[in-house]
């Protein structure tokens, strides 16, 4: 619908934030309610001008907004309207208010889908040609363990072999992990709900099926944990909020369904920062096992902490922006953030429809491949998903790979010791990748001015989507329900993103996607990122593998990041596996939890 259909007479001018070169005219006349005015300013695209905030400064709440007040607000906002424009704004306020009221009365909950689907592929680019080999991947060599406690820190790929050979039982493994969760959670605060009854039932079933030769695959009988924003039938799903700590959702998320089908054993719902931000939730602050005085990072806080402490075989997390990769780096996990659309988000709390992704936090690149292979694939309940094999059985030889890196980023002066350690780890990895026989390809850096504008502009898409996803929650609970995050402030601010600017930001995002494709299209894997920020990769939907590759002076893991082309996680796994075959950084054990 055009401006005429919305405004009525079609005479209203839509303004940029630069305002108009028109002189103010002193008019005092009929008024309208201040809140109505603020809402309509947002709807008409005036929020970015600063006019609503300026009006709030001159119009006390509950009073009618007069045209003279509007004139004062214009001066504060650096704007100038004509008499006719000022009058038309006032005349249309009530009409627009009815539209917003009707929309909010629809009660669109968090799980109501978004009709506009984000596609990370740039214009003109199709899905890569990936085929799945019919033959299974070779199993790792595993040494028999002396006691079940020795299995606590084994990669899931090794647990899989021991279970399949019946060297250990899923029941014993599950009991061991449940005991460790109970023992160490008071320190780490990583558990929201233990799923003990379900776990024992699933473990017994797994042992029976394995003994009968009915092996479901490499995750059969392996205990795991899930971030507590995945729906789990009959088990509370809190989203990290005290208001929801006893809420039961009567179905499983798609990823939970698929891991149950794979025979994995769910032992715990793991913590997340309040409404998926940070590492603070109603149970406290989730801690880093390598240094329990510090937080785990978030929002996949409990997943990262539990894997690092040897409390689960693997875990699932999610990422909108740095929520999986961030805590994986802090806690020394090997984590995989897949390409946008690889894994169904059905049954998972929405933060932002065009950003949310699901991925594994594990102890090795091989583990990440096993888990992603189990949960990836199309789902009619999530239209972002693609029907494309992961191709892990056809992982390329590293000697045939081109690995890119941005020289300017690796040589940049570090801002602090943390960044210095990360840069040094990447430089060490670059030399190791060259020693593996890969072709190293230096890539030119982005023009920083243009890149910053694109990333900064496109980021408002995330804010606007989050405000829409949580609209009902904010109305129902109010800001007082948030005790451990700044969500109310962020959501209120996002209400004033004009619709036109949201669309423009989406278009800027398309430009960014093409820029990244132009830079990365000639390499198989990128060591590090194209930028320092995590936001660029989440705007474009590219996959990342994070893994520890050294320690700092305090003995805490320091991680590297590998970035892949869209849907080419198999190349990330191939390179990550090759690096891990020559080191033991990923097998580190925090001293207080061994």
For 214-326, strand residue ranges (E) read 223-227, 265-270, 280-281, 284-285, 287-288, 291-295, 314-319
Q: Is residue 508 within 8 Å of 458, Cβ to Cβ? A: yes
- Rounded Cα distance, 308 and 333, in Å: 6
User: Taken in order 568, 573, 578, 579, is the CA torsion positive or negative?
Assistant: positive
Catalytic residue selected from 48, 157, 160, 227: 227
Report DSSP letters for 186-230, one per residue: HHH--EEEE-HHHHHHHHHHHHHHHHTT----TTTT-EEEEETTB
Q: Is residue 90 within 8 Å of 67, Cβ to Cβ? A: yes
Beta carbons within 10 angstroms of residue 389's beta carbon: 16
- Rounded Cα distance, 548 and 557, in Å: 6
Cα–Cα distance list, 12 to 54, 81, 554 (Å): 21, 11, 63
Catalytic residue selected from 169, 238, 271, 299: 299
Catalytic residue selected from 300, 305, 323, 485: 323
- Rounded Cα distance, 575 and 549, in Å: 13
The answer to whether residue 227 is catalytic is yes
Instruction: Say how many Å lie between the first and final Cα of the chain, rounded.
Output: 63
Q: Is residue 262 within 8 Å of 271, Cβ to Cβ? A: no
Nearest to 520 by CA among 497, 541, 490: 541
The answer to whether residue 323 is catalytic is yes
H or E stretch including 107? none
- What's the number of CA atoms in the CB half-sphere (13 Å) around residue 158? 16
The answer to whether residue 299 is catalytic is yes
User: In a 10 Å sphere around its CB, with 0-12 CB exposed, 13-18 middle and 19+ buried, how is residue 548 labelled?
Assistant: buried
Instruction: List residues with catalytic annotation.
Output: 227, 299, 323
């Amino acid at each position: 619908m055009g401006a005429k259909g919305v405004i009525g007479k079609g005479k209203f001018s839509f303004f940029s934030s630069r305002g108009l070169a028109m002189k103010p005219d002193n008019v005092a006349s009929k008024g309208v309610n201040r809140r109505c005015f603020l809402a309509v300013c947002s709807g008409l695209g005036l929020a970015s001008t600063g006019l609503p905030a300026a009006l709030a400064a001159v119009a006390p709440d509950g009073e009618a907004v007069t045209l003279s007040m509007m004139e004062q607000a214009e001066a504060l906002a650096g704007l100038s309207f004509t008499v006719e424009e000022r009058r038309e704004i006032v005349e249309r306020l009530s009409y627009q208010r009815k539209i917003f009221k009707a929309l909010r009365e629809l009660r669109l909950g968090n799980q109501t889908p978004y009709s506009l689907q984000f596609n990370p592929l740039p214009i003109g680019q199709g899905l890569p040609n990936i085929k799945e080999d019919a033959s299974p991947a070779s199993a790792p060599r595993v040494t028999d363990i002396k006691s079940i406690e020795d299995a606590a820190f084994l990669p899931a790929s090794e647990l899989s072999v021991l279970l399949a050979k019946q060297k250990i039982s899923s029941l014993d493994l599950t009991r061991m992990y449940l005991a460790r969760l109970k023992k160490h959670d008071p320190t780490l605060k990583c558990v929201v709900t233990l799923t003990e009854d379900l776990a024992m039932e699933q473990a017994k079933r797994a042992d029976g099926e394995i003994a009968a030769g009915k092996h479901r695959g490499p995750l059969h009988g392996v205990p795991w944990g899930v971030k507590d924003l995945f729906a789990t039938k009959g088990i509370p799903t809190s989203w990290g909020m005290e208001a929801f700590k006893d809420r039961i959702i009567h179905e499983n998320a798609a990823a939970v369904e698929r891991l149950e089908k794979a025979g994995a054993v769910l032992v715990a719902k793991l913590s997340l920062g309040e409404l998926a931000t940070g590492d603070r939730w109603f149970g406290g602050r989730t801690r880093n096992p390598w240094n329990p005085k510090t937080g785990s990072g978030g929002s996949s806080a409990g997943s990262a902490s539990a894997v690092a402490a040897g409390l689960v075989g693997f875990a699932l997390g999610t990422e909108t922006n740095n929520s999986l990769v961030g805590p994986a780096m802090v806690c020394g996990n090997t984590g995989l953030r897949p390409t946008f659309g690889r894994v169904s988000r059905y049954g998972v709390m929405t933060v932002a429809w065009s950003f949310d992704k699901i991925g594994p936090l594990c102890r090795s690149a091989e583990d990440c491949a096993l888990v992603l292979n189990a949960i990836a694939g199309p789902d009619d309940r999530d239209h972002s998903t693609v029907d494309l094999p992961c191709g892990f059985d056809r992982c390329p030889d590293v000697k045939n790979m081109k690995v890119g890196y941005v020289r300017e980023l690796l040589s940049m002066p570090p801002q602090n010791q943390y960044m210095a350690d990360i840069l040094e780890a990447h430089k060490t990895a670059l030399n190791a990748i060259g020693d593996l026989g890969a072709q190293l390809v230096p890539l030119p850096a982005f023009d920083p001015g243009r890149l910053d504008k694109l990333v900064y502009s496109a980021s408002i898409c995330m804010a606007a989507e989050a405000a829409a996803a949580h609209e009902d929650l904010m109305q129902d609970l109010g800001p007082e329900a948030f005790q451990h995050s700044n969500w109310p402030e962020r959501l209120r601010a996002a209400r004033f993103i004009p619709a036109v600017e949201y669309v423009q930001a989406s278009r800027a995002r398309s430009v960014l996607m093409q820029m990244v494709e132009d830079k990365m299209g000639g390499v198989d894997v990128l060591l590090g990122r194209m930028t320092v920020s995590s936001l660029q990769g989440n705007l474009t939907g590219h996959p990342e593998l994070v893994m520890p590759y050294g320690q700092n002076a305090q003995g805490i893991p320091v991680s590297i990041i590998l970035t892949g082309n869209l849907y080419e996680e198999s190349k990330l796994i191939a390179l990550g596996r090759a690096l891990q075959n020559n080191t033991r950084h990923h097998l580190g054990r925090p001293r207080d939890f061994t």
